Structure formats: structure tokens, C-alpha cells
């Protein structure tokens, strides 16, 4: 799907459209800010569809009683520019997908309510005061707590016991990137694994060189920590893991659906449907500071058996029994 078609489906005109027919009800305004790779990510497309479907089920129909403006970006400067642009349109609530979208919005406004999804460590990042009482003009849904990161290394050792070296692909510019790595480091000694960070950058050549250099030694594996850069470079990372025969654990399902080995992480649909519910409550008069920030109540384990076979891995029955989805 081309990005232009995707954005057009979400509402992307330059200004709030004028309705062609008279309206008997007040038309509300919603802004959306998200990474521009969402159009190429099947899981994110499905999640945004779930967000808008949930709004419709709650009675908010785009073009009838609500108008939705969507902006996308890939660079920090573009996120800042679009955040300012959206705030200038005076929406009554803005939905932000990810920390890269959330941070510039918080810099652009202290009054427009913001609902976020797929953000890690909003407290440590200074976005909210607490989970129960976020404060300010913000609330939303975290993708996981840092302790989950240690589970990725435990899972890697369970499916590939010979692994003694693991590279963690992370975004060093994000606080959650260093936080996830710290948790993985803390559990590594007990598992007999040496952990190395590979810092994700915008240049794909840097990623390829770093992974190739790491894969030169035997008994190696990968963990892909949560970040927008990891998602944007999903196909490259999966291809490198396959090329170098590296068992890899990913933080969400989309990687496994695209050919990755295994993931353990949050349910995107749950995040986006929950965000739609919070948007509804804010439009009906509730304050974001009174809506607690929520963490997932369920994580999903997804396995790609075709990839396991290509890597020569026999998936342990104990792991298969716990799987929420098996792709063959």
C-alpha cells in the first residue's frame, strides 16, 4: 500500500474539511501523529484500522460528527514540525503513536489532551508523573515494562541453548533503548551469555556492517529491542538474521509475520483500541490527567516454524505449548 493512499484513508487534508451538508451535531476535531512507515507495516495498518473502527463503534464517524487530521514523519525535525502544525489546528484531542511522536507534541502544547500508545517508560522519560495519576494533558498505553526485556534473553536461550553471545539491537538515542539493554545485561550472567549492544542508526549500511561483524563468531544470537528505528529497518534486520543463521527474538509480532523467528511482546490491537476508548472519554468531557496510564495485561508469543526450520532449530515443545500463534 502506498503511503499517500494510507494517509488519505486516515484523514490527511491540509485544513479541517468543510462538511458539504448541514450538521445537527457538533463536529469534534482529532489529530493523529505517527511514524510514516506505518503504511508499510501490516500490523500497524491493522492497528490503525482497529483504532478508527473502535471510534466508529463508540459513535464517532469521520465526516459526520468528527474530523480527523493525520500527520506522519520519519525524522525528528519532521515530527516537531507536524506537532506544531497539528496543535495550530486546535484539535480537542491528539493521538500519538510512539515516543518519537509524543515528545514533540508535549513540547508544542501543555493544554491539548494527548493520548499515546506504544510508549515505553513514560515516567523515566519525564512524560508523566505516575501511571495512576499521569498529570498534565497526557495519558495512554505503555507497550511493556522494562522487566519484559529479560524475558527475551531467557526465551533465546530456551530455543537455542548453544547461544553464548547475544547482540541487542537498540536505539541509543531513546531512554527506553538503554533501559531495555540494562535489563538484558542484568540477567545475562545467570544464563551464561555475553551481551553486546548494536546501536541502530539511520544508515542501513551501518546496521549491516555491525551485524555482519558480530555474526563472525559462533554461538551468536540477536535480540531486537523496541524502537521506531527497529521497525523501520525490519526487513533488513530479518534478512541479516537469516543470512548469518542467527536465532533472533523480536519485541512484537510484525517481525515474525515478516519472516523473523520468534517474538514476545504486546498486542498492538489492544493498545490502539484502548487508545480509541480514551479519546472517546476525553471528547465526552473527562480529563487525561484523571485517566490512568495502562500497561498490557497480556503478552503474546508468536513463532515462525518455517524460519526455525531454515535455521535448523527444533522448537522445544514447552515453547510451542505457550505460543499464542504459530506461523508455518
Residue pLDDT, tens place only, 289-320: 999 999 998 899 999 999 999 999 999 999 99
Same fold yes or no, 3-143+267-297 and 148-251 = yes
**Residue 16: predicted pLDDT:** 43
Q: Residue 133, Cβ neighbours under 10 Å: how many?
A: 13
Homologous superfamily assigned to 3-143+267-297: Response regulator (3.40.50.2300)
DSSP lists the bridge partners of residue 258 as none
Cα–Cα distance measured from residue 171 to residue 183, given in angstroms and rounded to the nearest whole number: 15
| Tens digit of each residue's pLDDT (9 = 90 or more) over 191-228 | 999 999 999 876 678 899 999 999 999 999 999 998 88
**163 — pLDDT class (breaks 50, 70, 90):** very high
d(CA 298, CA 286) in angstroms, rounded, equals 26
Q: What is the pLDDT of residues 229-256, one digit of tens each?
A: 888 899 999 999 999 999 999 999 999 9
Average pLDDT on 134-161 reads 94
* Beta carbons within 10 angstroms of residue 89's beta carbon: 16
Residue 38 CA to residue 33 CA, distance in Å, equals 11
Domain ranges of the chain: 3-143+267-297, 148-251
Which parts of 54-107 are beta strand (E)? 66-73, 93-97
pLDDT on residue 41: 74
Assess contact for 102 and 96: CB atoms under 8 A.
Answer: yes
Residue 2 is given by DSSP the state -
CATH class of 148-251: alpha beta
* 171 within 8 A of 113, measured Cβ to Cβ: no
Range name among 101-115, 121-135, 151-165, 168-182 with the lowest pLDDT average: 168-182
Contact 68, 62 (CB under 8 A): yes
How far, in Å, CA of 146 to CA of 123, rounded? 12
Amino acid at each position: 500500500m502506498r503511503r499517500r493512499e494510507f494517509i488519505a484513508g486516515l484523514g490527511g487534508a491540509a485544513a479541517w474539511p468543510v462538511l458539504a451538508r448541514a450538521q445537527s451535531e457538533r463536529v469534534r476535531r482529532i489529530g493523529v501523529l505517527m511514524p510514516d512507515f506505518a503504511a508499510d507495516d501490516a500490523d500497524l495498518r491493522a492497528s490503525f484500522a482497529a483504532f478508527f473502527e473502535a471510534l466508529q463503534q463508540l459513535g464517532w464517524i469521520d465526516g459526520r460528527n468528527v474530523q480527523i487530521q493525520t500527520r506522519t514523519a520519519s525524522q525528528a525535525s519532521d515530527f516537531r514540525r507536524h506537532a506544531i502544525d497539528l496543535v495550530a489546528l486546535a484539535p480537542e484531542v491528539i493521538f500519538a503513536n510512539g515516543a518519537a511522536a509524543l515528545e514533540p507534541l508535549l513540547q508544542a502544547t501543555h493544554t491539548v489532551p494527548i493520548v499515546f500508545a506504544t510508549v515505553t517508560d513514560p515516567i523515566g522519560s519525564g512524560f508523566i508523573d505516575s501511571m495512576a495519576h499521569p498529570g498534565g494533558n497526557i495519558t495512554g498505553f505503555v507497550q511493556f515494562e522494562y522487566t519484559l526485556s529479560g524475558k527475551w534473553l531467557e526465551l533465546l536461550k530456551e530455543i537455542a541453548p548453544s547461544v553464548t553471545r547475544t547482540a541487542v539491537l537498540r536505539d541509543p538515542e531513546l531512554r527506553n533503548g538503554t533501559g531495555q539493554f540494562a535489563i538484558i545485561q542484568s540477567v545475562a550472567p545467570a544464563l551464561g551469555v555475553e551481551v553486546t549492544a548494536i546501536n541502530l542508526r539511520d544508515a542501513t549500511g551501518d546496521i549491516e556492517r555491525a551485524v555482519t561483524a558480530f555474526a563472525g563468531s559462533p554461538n551468536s544470537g540477536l535480540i531486537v529491542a523496541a524502537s521506531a528505528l527497529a521497525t523501520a529497518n525490519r526487513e533488513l534486520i530479518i534478512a541479516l538474521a537469516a543470512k548469518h543463521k542467527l536465532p533472533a527474538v523480536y519485541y512484537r509480532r510484525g517481525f515474525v509475520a515478516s519472516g523473523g523467528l520468534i517474538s514476545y511482546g504486546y498486542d498492538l490491537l489492544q493498545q490502539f483500541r484502548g487508545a480509541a476508548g480514551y479519546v472517546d472519554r476525553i471528547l465526552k468531557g473527562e480529563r487525561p490527567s484523571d485517566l490512568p496510564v495502562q500497561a498490557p495485561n497480556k503478552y503474546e508469543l508468536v513463532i515462525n516454524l518455517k524460519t526455525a526450520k531454515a535455521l535448523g532449530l527444533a522448537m522445544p515443545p514447552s515453547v510451542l505449548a505457550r505460543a499464542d500463534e504459530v506461523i508455518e
